[in-house]
Amino acid sequence: MKSFITFPAVIGRHMRLIPALQNQPAHRSLRSRLGAAYSVRSDSPSYSLLLRIYHFHVAHPALTRRMRPFRGAGKMLHMRVTYLLGALLLMNSAAFSQRTAPPRYDVSSIKPSPDSDPYTFHIERDGTLYATGITIRRLMMTGYNVQGFRLIGGPGWVAARRWDVQAKPSRPASGNEIPDMLRALLEDRFQLKVHSETRNRPLYDLTVAPGGSKLRRVEDSNVKQDIRIGNGSIRFTRATVATFASQLSYALARPVIDKTGISGEFNFALEWTPTPGENDGPTTSGLPPGTPEPASTPDGPSIFTAIEEQLGLRLKSGRGPVAVVVIDSAQMPAAN
């Protein structure tokens, strides 16, 4: 009497052979190609299941030749495995895309701000944004990571009109993802269009004064870094001259280029009396015109005098290439 291999036994035997099959060089190459083709992470449970289904699928025709009495059932199983493989790929691809899609501000509210609303700007750790009395210029400074004086052009209301903005991300976002999300929000709601270029513009060179540097070098490497900025005041602990120059550019509304040739970390303490409009007023910080300037100590030195007397450095006016963001166009959004 002729004996036949039962169908469940064939399946079980094949599944036991899969680990050995997967270790063959050809199949190791297949695994990498399969993961790349279907965006399947190699450490995911679905990746292992996908490989098992695939190996059973490609090996099944050889197995069915040994199961002549079960040809009909073998063909049916072959079709079912094919359908299951396709469904698994679709589900895994959709889930993977959902996990890796960059976050966006998919829920947002933008309304004109009453003049009585104070200026506030806060971004929570998950990327949720709350702002009142804010200008598009100020949002662009964060979205494009530029100082206010590097934003050029656009309609006047970009720097003058105030808005109340609330936006919630599609999923928790990291700090590095927030600028991209903010740019996408501005492009969507304000139809903002910009381009970057380099222009020859005014700047300051920071050099050593004729009397020599008065900077205090940090001797203790255990001292923690600290930054304190006020109106007419800059205090840094453990900072480089390049970092100090970058902060000066905010106060002067021009790029400040470190040309001192001094390396190392220093403690900086600079006090001066800002003159009206010295840094183009609050608009340099993205605040609307008319925002009152903070009070400062009267009868003090100008920033140019203070830098030389207190730090032994000098600011020299000049021109040079400056990277800027040019606003090509923007449109008022519909309030919601």
Reported as a single tens digit per residue, the pLDDT across 184-206 is: 999 999 999 999 999 999 999 99
pTM for this prediction:
0.63
Per residue of the chain (336 residues), give pLDDT as tens: 444 444 444 444 444 544 554 555 555 554 555 454 444 455 555 555 555 555 555 555 554 444 444 455 555 555 555 555 555 555 555 554 455 678 999 889 999 998 888 899 999 999 999 999 999 999 999 999 999 999 999 999 999 999 999 999 999 999 899 999 999 999 999 999 999 999 999 999 999 999 999 999 998 878 898 999 888 999 999 999 999 999 999 889 999 999 999 999 999 999 999 876 555 444 445 555 555 555 555 678 999 999 999 999 999 999 999 999 999 999 998 766
Count CA atoms closer than 13 A to 183's CA, side-chain side: 16
User: Are 232 and 272 contacting, i.e. CB atoms less than 8 angstroms apart?
Assistant: yes
pLDDT confidence of residue 71:
52
pLDDT confidence of residue 101:
77
In tens, the pLDDT along 234-266 reads 999 999 999 999 999 988 999 999 999 999 999
pLDDT confidence of residue 32:
54
Find, among 192, 77, 74, 213, the residue nearest to 143 by Cα. Answer: 192
The CA angle 335-155-149, to the nearest 5 degrees, is 110
The SS3 assignment for 168 reads strand
User: Are 231 and 330 contacting, i.e. CB atoms less than 8 angstroms apart?
Assistant: no
pLDDT confidence of residue 291:
57
pLDDT confidence of residue 106:
87
Find, among 73, 201, 190, the residue nearest to 136 by Cα. Answer: 190
pLDDT confidence of residue 99:
54
